[in-house]
Amino acid sequence: MQSIDFDTRAVFIAGHWQSASFGRTLPLINPSDGSELTQIARGGPAEIDAAVVAAQAALDGPWGAMSAAERGRILARMGARVTEMADVLARMEALDVGKPVKQGLADAHALARYLEFYGGAADKVMGETIPFTPGYTALTLREPHGVTGHIVPWNYPMQIIGRSVGAALAMGNACVLKPAEEACLTALAFARIAHDCGLPAGALNVVPGLGEEAGAALSRHHGVRHLSFTGSVAVGQHVQAAAARNTVPVTLELGGKSPQLVFADADLDAALPFLVNAGVQNAGQTCSAASRILVQADIFDDVVARMAERYKKLVVGPAIHDPDVGPLISARQRELVQGYLAAARDSGLRVAAQAELHDDLPKNGCYVAPTLLAPVRNDHRLAQEEIFGPVQVVIPFDDEADAIAQANGTAFGLVAGVWTRDGSRALRVARRLQCGQVFVNNYGAGGGVELPFGGVKSSGHGREKGFEALYGFSTLKTIAIKHD
């Protein structure tokens, strides 16, 4: 099998692999069995500073001078290379993050598709000419921000790198990427691929390290002109506050408590796989996980029974064996989720189904049994807080107005699904849902690289994915020329 050659203990700055100051490293754990895979560099303020300087130098050098078409060609080459190496990347992610191999493959192909999409778009972002006072010609230009910072979580490293770094590079920004300390390998592999595909030195720098050290240093660095943060609400607010001191715009892609609304006239055979998969995929560690299933009272028992059947068949196991559900990212995350399950028990919530954890699972793996809770009231803590584990709650509703009120009744607003055969209702409901994306008679549209994505309320602001991301990763300049 081919491999991607890089130094797991290094940071990647200005096209070079180098150690972090004082050779500091951190352990990287395989959550499927708790073993240490390797050590990674523990970058901090010094490495972040060097990376920002390298990125600025790239903008002042060949990268800044490159045509949009050439940037697009490099991104397209990177996409092709990611496709060739998809198996290797998926196995890396399985070991590092505990992501079942097929789900890692889907992430690798999504990363390739982002690079292809943004590579193709790089030379198609245009300004406008504006009808203005006679004697003037007025026009707009889309320009890169400059150095952009990208802080990425551990749950979908490849996809999030694709949608944020891919779009930023297409617009001609130079990037400093801080992957999550628990998920660095594919970010480093991506740096290697970018380098091999001809991305100029400094256009992409990768600094693994702790959030409070490397992440915080990136958020407050005065040389950064835009920040893209994906992660928790609390850290997102912190990053935005740090960026505000430098008057730097921030895109925040935060958490969710996304509902799927199932009306009595829905095609349940079509809906069922989406209702369950969107909750347990990636062991529920998905920002857009459909963690709340809202079901019309007439069909409530039937839907719960049919979801329960599916839960009982879910296979949980080490990611490299490609089960339906792998481990959670860490022992800490497992404890958080188990805490929610204990709270469910304490308040007498009914477990409608639970997948089995077999005795032969590695004992230091971070496994949690996928659990379906029904019925649950929408004001219960388990229906309000993001659990980030394979736990779904099923909530009954009476009519359309009740469904909309409950769907909108959390602090979040990321994604929603609507299942109905009534086209008018689908549109009516979709327009009243407070969130960034609504899917009708599907959920997630298979990832949808082309579809703008992001939240309202506590789910964040700004949009990534699709063409829209290119506007976020650029700034608009207006030029007014006076002539005779």
- Active-site residues, by number, are 253, 287
181 lies in the binding site for Mg ion (CB under 5 A)? no
Binding mask 223-262 for ligand NAP (x = CB under 6 A): -------xxx--x--xx-------------xxxx------
Angle between helices 86-97 and 101-121 (to 10 degrees): 120
Q: What angle do CA 241, 246, 250 make, to 5 degrees?
A: 55
- For residues 325 and 283, the answer to whether their CB atoms sit within 8 Å is yes
- 287 contacts which partner out of ligand NAP, Mg ion, none, CB within 5 to 8 A by kind? ligand NAP
Q: State which residue, 266 or 368, has the beta carbon closest to ligand NAP.
A: 368
Q: Looking up tokens 């793996």, which residue turns up?
A: 365
- For residues 195 and 98, the answer to whether their CB atoms sit within 8 Å is no
Amino acid at 374: A
Q: What is the smallest separation between the CB atom of 94 and ligand NAP, expressed in angstroms?
A: 18
Q: Where are any strands of DSSP class E within 237-390?
A: 250-253, 259-262, 292-296, 351-354, 371-373
Q: Find residue 474's DSSP bridge partners.
A: 144
Q: State which residue, 156 or 439, has the beta carbon closest to ligand NAP.
A: 156
Amino acid at 314: L
Q: Where are any strands of DSSP class E within 84-181?
A: 129-130, 136-144, 147-151, 174-178
Query: Could you say which of 33, 47, 93, 96 contacts Mg ion (CB under 5 A)?
Result: 96
Q: What is the smallest separation between the CB atom of 173 and ligand NAP, expressed in angstroms?
A: 19
- For residues 115 and 77, the answer to whether their CB atoms sit within 8 Å is no
Cα separation, 452 vs 448, in Å, equals 8
- 253 contacts which partner out of ligand NAP, Mg ion, none, CB within 5 to 8 A by kind? ligand NAP
Q: 375 preceded by cis ω (within 30°)?
A: yes
- 153 contacts which partner out of Mg ion, ligand NAP, none, CB within 5 to 8 A by kind? ligand NAP
CB atoms within 10 A of CB 148: 26
Query: Could you say which of 47, 116, 182, 386 contacts Mg ion (CB under 5 A)?
Result: 182
- 151 contacts which partner out of ligand NAP, Mg ion, none, CB within 5 to 8 A by kind? ligand NAP
Residues between 139 and 168 that touch ligand NAP (CB under 6 A): 151-156
Q: State which residue, 33 or 96, has the beta carbon closest to Mg ion.
A: 96
**Interface size with ligand NAP, residues (CB under 6 A):** 30
Query: Could you say which of 190, 388, 419, 443 contacts ligand NAP (CB under 6 A)?
Result: 388
444 lies in the binding site for ligand NAP (CB under 6 A)? no
Cα separation, 110 vs 112, in Å, equals 5
The residue number with the shortest CB distance to ligand NAP is: 211
- For residues 79 and 116, the answer to whether their CB atoms sit within 8 Å is yes
Q: State which residue, 89 or 287, has the beta carbon closest to ligand NAP.
A: 287
DSSP H or E run through 40 = strand 35-41
Query: Could you say which of 32, 219, 260, 282 contacts ligand NAP (CB under 6 A)?
Result: 219
DSSP H or E run through 290 = none
Cα separation, 50 vs 319, in Å, equals 36
Q: What is the smallest separation between the CB atom of 65 and ligand NAP, expressed in angstroms?
A: 31
DSSP 3-state of 412? coil
- 212 contacts which partner out of Mg ion, ligand NAP, none, CB within 5 to 8 A by kind? ligand NAP
Span of 174-182, 290-298, 343-351, 465-473 interacting with ligand NAP by CB under 6 A: 174-182
Closest CA to 44 of 145, 154, 224, 181: 181
Q: Find residue 150's DSSP bridge partners.
A: 177, 228
- 96 contacts which partner out of Mg ion, ligand NAP, none, CB within 5 to 8 A by kind? Mg ion
HSE toward the beta carbon, residue 192, CA cutoff 13 A:
17
Q: What is the smallest separation between the CB atom of 253 and ligand NAP, expressed in angstroms?
A: 3
Q: State which residue, 283 or 304, has the beta carbon closest to ligand NAP.
A: 283
Q: Find residue 41's DSSP bridge partners.
A: 25
180 lies in the binding site for ligand NAP (CB under 6 A)? yes
Which DSSP letter does residue 211 get? I
447 lies in the binding site for ligand NAP (CB under 6 A)? no
Query: Could you say which of 287, 307, 407, 418 contacts ligand NAP (CB under 6 A)?
Result: 287
462 lies in the binding site for ligand NAP (CB under 6 A)? no
Q: What is the smallest separation between the CB atom of 95 and Mg ion, expressed in angstroms?
A: 8
Binding site for ligand NAP (CB under 6 A): 151-156, 178, 180-182, 210-212, 215-216, 219, 230-232, 235, 238-239, 253-256, 287, 386, 388, 414
Please report, as ranges, the residues that interact with Mg ion according to CB under 5 A.
29, 96, 182
